[in-house]
Amino acid sequence: MTESSQSLSKNALPQGTVTLLFTDIQGSTKLLRKLGTSYGPTLGTHRRLLRTAFAAGSGVEVDTQGDAFFVAFRSADKALRAAVASQRALLSHEWSHGEPVMVRMGIHSGHPTVIDDNYVGIDVHRAARICGAAHGGQILLSQATAGILSTAGDGDLHLRELGVHRLKDLEHPESLFQVEARDLPTDFPPPSTLEPPTNIPSYASSLIGRVAELEDLEEMVGQDAVRLVTVTGPGGTGKTRLAAALALDILDDFPNGAFFVDLSRAQSDAVAAEIADSLGVSIDGSPSTVSALVDHLSAMRILLVVDNFEQAVGAASLVAELLQRCPMLTMIVTSRVPLAIDGEHQYALEPLGLPASSTKAIVERSEAAQLFVERAAAVRKGFAVTADNASAVAEICRLLDGLPLAIELAAARVKLFSPQALLDRLGDRLKLLTGGRSDSPVRHRALRTTIDWSYDLLSPQERAFFRDLAVFSGGAAFEAVERVLGMDDDALDLLTRLIDHSLVRQHEGLAGDVRFWMLATIREYSLELLESSDSRADLRSRHATYFLSFAEEASDERADRKTPAPDLEVEHDNMRSALAWFIKRAEAGSENDALLGLRLASALGRFWYTHGHAVEGSAWLEQTLALNSSAPI
Ligand SMILES: Nc1ncnc2c1ncn2[C@@H]1O[C@H](COP(=O)(O)OP(=O)(O)OP(=O)(O)O)[C@@H](O)[C@H]1O
Ligand SMILES: [Mg+2]
């Protein structure tokens, strides 16, 4: 039994939402070797300093082993402050061996179960793994803790996002935050997670089927000679989903990591910058973005997943150049069309497997029906294939040709329609198209028809809202939706309904912030509606003005800021489209818009410069300045 748990009773451990802090001395074995017999007193001093700080935050010692503490707190804020106080105490103490004892700390909040005077549960493992990922002197937090803190960002404490990391033995990757506080060091190497770094998206729902496809692709990418695999298929086939799953499966083969680059809103000439962004490569001091990328990638074993390349086919030669100049680079590209360059290995992705017959057992096992059932159950609890509905479910999947996106849209309607009613309605529309063939153009039209049908079923208010949402590029936070679309109290309700219909998606950012966005195919559809609507100009102006204030507020450097500065990087696409709008209006003669454009470019100046977008930023600045050159400022 460990020394501290002897005096603890089961009641002493806090229950409910608990914040767990693990600490561990970095290099303790080395320290022991170096200090010999004086290691004991040094360890004792370290314990005394930490215990004092933990007690001040009402921390309860759960376990202490050798150089490691496990302490529980009722309050996340107190845990954070106790960790900061203990790091300060360790740093300022005059150690007899002349250098500070460096302790790594990891904090995570959850609901562990108390059994026999100890905590049990995945949250305990998670907290311990987070501690293991920290360096001596560093405090790392999980997203769960970051999300319940009330003090983050207030003056002396600050959280720095370190991105998503996969921790040993834990299935779901963790967003890690570094605590920064006065007097404490801030520069550390990347967290020592055992798996390579990655920003590949992980999905809340599980991947359905695709076992053979993943096997084929893994074998393909595993060959030394294969450096570029393009997964092709029409919109909504599941290319992105499959590429992401593949990348995570083979992550271990890429010690320098796997990175996801979304090109869905990029032009060909912005592809290099998008890749640099995703890799966190700064282009400062390099003659060009491409040479900065080559410098970074030439000695790295990295996997790049480049999504939606059809948007930027003009950049195929860039891909060829990167592969040629970076011999250890591997790329997986998703695209509706192949890149058509040397060395490309195309993998034409088929939709999900269809049921071979309409009996319940066969339908249940087919991939397409599994997706249908999973999505239907999300809007209608308990939905399952039954002997009664099996043939309707099978028929819907066949009509939709196993196309995942179309299946999702149809399944979302199970809230209102029984599978048979859904089949009748959708079937009428699709019969005109399919005529028994199932090649790609037909598939494409089948999806279009399904989106049409989903759209037609919306109320007039939902339709307008869905159309107007296309004004955002790269998604939007709720506040932006509310302010730009001006729906006041109805906005959340409308968003929720569109999410239910699978037309809008919801995504939680690293700091617990929620963003709303649309899959590329769906946004293209709503954008078409927006472009031909009367409200377009008004809406674009409201969007641009909103993001102008957003940028000006974010670039305001007054010291009395109460809330953390908003994240401009996630809004970069919205900023670009706001700039493009101001410029368009200015070119049509609006002096006011010329000025607003210049104000926006100026507000973004520092962000562009510090976030590796200097080249793009100066182009915008030049353009907006030129439009103002005749007007007095
Ligand atoms: N195997 C699968 N399991 C679960 N969901 C899937 C699967 N395949 C696709 N989906 C879902 O279907 C939808 C469309 O898939 P995805 O976005 O990957 O298609 P895509 O081929 O990349 O489309 P686009 O060409 O428009 O980018 C997504 O919501 C995705 O999560
Ligand atoms: Mg995609």
Above 90 in pLDDT, residue 571? yes
Return mean pLDDT, the chain: 87
Per-residue pLDDT reduced to its tens digit, 83-97: 999 999 999 999 988
Give me the percent of the chain exceeding a pLDDT of 70.
Answer: 91
Above 70 in pLDDT, residue 393? yes
User: What is the structure's pLDDT at 170?
Assistant: 67
Query: Are residues 24 and 131 in contact, defined by beta-carbon separation less than 8 angstroms?
Result: yes
Ligand 1 neighbourhood includes 408 CB (under 6 angstroms): yes
Burial class (CB in 10 A: 0-12, 13-18, 19+), 106: buried
d(CA 90, CA 101): 7
pLDDT band at 155 (very low <50, low <70, confident <90, very high): low
Ligand 1 neighbourhood includes 311 CB (under 6 angstroms): no
Q: Mean pLDDT, to the nearest integer, of 374-401?
A: 93
Query: Are residues 411 and 375 in contact, defined by beta-carbon separation less than 8 angstroms?
Result: yes
Query: Are residues 198 and 259 in contact, defined by beta-carbon separation less than 8 angstroms?
Result: yes
Q: Mean pLDDT, to the nearest integer, of 568-576?
A: 92
Q: Which ligand sits nearest to residue 400's alpha carbon?
A: 1
Q: Which ligand sits nearest to residue 367's alpha carbon?
A: 1
Per-residue pLDDT reduced to its tens digit, 463-504: 999 999 999 998 999 999 999 998 767 888 899 889 888 889
Q: How far is the CA of 495 from the centre of ligand 1 (A)?
A: 21
Which of 519, 523, 526 to mutate to test ligand 1, by most ligand atoms within 8 A of the CB atom? 519
Ligand 1 neighbourhood includes 233 CB (under 6 angstroms): yes
Closest to 85 in 3D by CA, of 13, 135, 155, 139: 139
pLDDT band at 253 (very low <50, low <70, confident <90, very high): confident
d(CA 272, CA 291): 10
User: The tokens of 275 are what?
Assistant: 């890749």
Which of 211, 231, 241, 440 to mutate to test ligand 1, by most ligand atoms within 8 A of the CB atom? 241
For ligand 1, atom 26, the nearest C-alpha belongs to 235
Q: How far is the CA of 565 from the centre of ligand 2 (A)?
A: 31
For ligand 1, atom 25, the nearest C-alpha belongs to 235
| Residue 499: other Cβ atoms inside 10 A | 16
pLDDT band at 563 (very low <50, low <70, confident <90, very high): low
| Contacts for 261 with CB less than 8 Å, ≥ 6 apart | 274, 275, 277, 278, 304, 305, 306, 307
Most confident of 28-42, 282-296, 319-333, 518-532: 319-333
pLDDT band at 6 (very low <50, low <70, confident <90, very high): very low
Ligand 1 neighbourhood includes 231 CB (under 6 angstroms): no
pLDDT band at 505 (very low <50, low <70, confident <90, very high): confident
d(CA 70, CA 444): 56
pLDDT band at 7 (very low <50, low <70, confident <90, very high): very low
Ligand 1 neighbourhood includes 520 CB (under 6 angstroms): yes
pLDDT band at 9 (very low <50, low <70, confident <90, very high): very low
Give me the percent of the chain exceeding a pLDDT of 90.
Answer: 54
Closest to 230 in 3D by CA, of 332, 324, 349: 332
DSSP-based three-state secondary structure for 476: strand
Ligand 1 neighbourhood includes 336 CB (under 6 angstroms): yes
Query: Are residues 117 and 8 in contact, defined by beta-carbon separation less than 8 angstroms?
Result: yes
Above 80 in pLDDT, residue 433? no
Q: Which ligand sits nearest to residue 525's alpha carbon?
A: 1
Residues across the chain: 633
Query: Are residues 584 and 596 in contact, defined by beta-carbon separation less than 8 angstroms?
Result: no
What phi, psi does 310 have (nearest 5°)? -55, -20
Above 90 in pLDDT, residue 201? no
Q: Which of 265-279, 311-325, 357-371, 501-515 has the lowest mean pLDDT?
A: 501-515
| Contacts for 147 with CB less than 8 Å, ≥ 6 apart | 511, 512
User: What is the structure's pLDDT at 486?
Assistant: 83
User: The tokens of 409 are what?
Assistant: 């849209």
Ligand 1 neighbourhood includes 277 CB (under 6 angstroms): no
Q: Which of 99-113, 150-164, 228-242, 394-408 has the lowest mean pLDDT?
A: 150-164
Q: How far is the CA of 279 from the centre of ligand 2 (A)?
A: 20
